[in-house]
Amino acid sequence: MTPKEQFLSKRQRYQPISLPQNFSDEEMARDWTLLEGDQQEIERYRKSFRLSIAIQICAVRLYGRFLNQVHDLSPHIVGYLGKQLALPPSLTVEVPAREATYLEHRQNVLKHLGFQRFDQNAQEQLETWIAPQARLGTLPEALFHQAENHLLDKRILLPGPSVLERLIMHVCSDVHVELFETVFTRLSPELLQAIDQLLMVPDGEQRSYFYRLKEYPPAPSISSIQSYLQRYHTVAETGIDDVEIHVLTPEFLDYLFKQAKRYSTKDLKRFADHKRYTLMICFLLETRKTLLDHLVTMHDQYVIDISRQTKNTHEKKHRELRKRQKRAIDVMLDTTDFLLDWPDDQPLSKHDIWRQVEEVKLRSARKDLQAFKELVKNKFPISCEFGNGAVVPLGQVIVKEDFHVVFEIRGVFAPGLVHVVQDAHRHV
């Protein structure tokens, strides 16, 4: 088992028993109540060791493992066990200092509970039980918990997490080979050749296309969306639509996809053909979905950014025109008062008006009022300008495609994305 195939976390590997810190009285009574036979067994020991024995009996029955760090147990549980044993309150748990006594106590606990150690015979029986579960598509991580419960039901002391992890991966590897060979026989030569191209490093490049497909998308822009559209089409054109892999469950397909992502091109080329191509098929099938998700998200974010920028520009222009509109209103009011106060018996010429207000000032005021009227009438910009200089009416930006909302930028990249979404609907 390689480090990339390991599925346990460091905490699961080095701290197999997760001791409860927050629990109810009902939960404590359920898990840490001694049976009558337990108390009779514990009375055989010295009083100083009875609390330690009680803890181990409950731990093995509950977790299938001995509790190495008894001092980490909640004082509430320690007090509850001590009360059942009629022992004085104590915040510490005394354990045997002599190794022989320590091992003897553990052996006696196993004998009392009817547990046996995980030996070669138990391992072979567990392997026989795991194989059918793996053939059903159960993932290794789920198998780990199921195997623990199976051993507990059989009253077998659980091995170390790393031991159980290696055992599961060993059995799964053998089972997965059968699945890989089944999938491999269904792949066409054209598809195999397309996969080989993805794993090759093109001349003048430092990375393979497989590496680029694993990259997370950059900030949304026209160029990055076009690049991701090209990646989507490259994946779709490999011919993965014609592959029938019903032998793999969706969960197992996702598991193999994540496994493939962990490997480099060099790692994959070291695998046998059936394993390499099956991992790549799973990777491509799931990557197509991921690329589509990224495309829609990038497209969404890009139009939102454009809308935000356009709104900010609109508000800035509104503030500027509002100031000019106030000055223009003053000019128009002064001019209107001048016209209303002009005597009826005297002729009025433009020259008289220009003496009251400059022609340029009056025309500028009229222009400012007209511009402000148009701005208020529209309330929001009717078009937005993109980075390539194209001006697109906002009314044409949003297009609804069934349950997807696709943002259309005419003449830029909308047609490609609409086709991508339509293709995706066929695979849902």
Q: 349 and 204 in one domain?
A: yes
Q: 39 and 147 in one domain?
A: no
Nearest to 56 by CA among 105, 4, 124: 105
Q: 194 and 332 in one domain?
A: yes
Condensed to tens digits (0 to 9), the pLDDT of residues 362-378 reads: 889 889 888 888 887 76
- Looking at residue 149, its pLDDT comes to 93
In a domain, 410, yes or no: no
Q: 348 and 223 in one domain?
A: yes
Q: 138 and 218 in one domain?
A: no
Total structural domains within the chain: 3
Q: 99 and 35 in one domain?
A: yes
In a domain, 412, yes or no: no
In a domain, 309, yes or no: yes
Residue that wins the pLDDT comparison between 246 and 233: 233
User: Is residue 402 within 8 Å of 236, Cβ to Cβ?
Assistant: no
Condensed to tens digits (0 to 9), the pLDDT of residues 396-428 reads: 333 333 323 333 333 334 444 444 444 544 544
Q: 106 and 124 in one domain?
A: no
Q: 321 and 200 in one domain?
A: yes
Q: 142 and 239 in one domain?
A: no
Mean pLDDT, the chain, as a whole number?
A: 82
pLDDT for 131 beyond 70: yes
Of 31-45, 46-60, 89-103, 386-400, which range is least confident? 386-400
In a domain, 400, yes or no: no
In a domain, 417, yes or no: no
Q: How far apart are CA 399 and CA 46, in angstroms?
A: 80
- Looking at residue 4, its pLDDT comes to 61
Token pair of 81 as six digits: 């066990």
In a domain, 10, yes or no: yes
In a domain, 143, yes or no: yes
In a domain, 277, yes or no: yes
Structural domain span for residue 158: 120-172
Q: 33 and 13 in one domain?
A: yes
Q: 368 and 307 in one domain?
A: yes
Condensed to tens digits (0 to 9), the pLDDT of residues 97-108 reads: 899 999 999 999
Residue 236 three-state SS: helix
Q: 64 and 140 in one domain?
A: no
Highest mean pLDDT among 120-129, 250-259, 360-369, 370-379: 120-129
pLDDT for 380 beyond 60: no
- Looking at residue 112, its pLDDT comes to 92
pTM of the model: 0.63
Condensed to tens digits (0 to 9), the pLDDT of residues 151-196 reads: 999 999 999 999 998 899 888 888 888 888 888 888 889 999 999 9
- Looking at residue 386, its pLDDT comes to 44
Q: What percent of the chain has pLDDT over 90?
A: 27
- Looking at residue 413, its pLDDT comes to 40
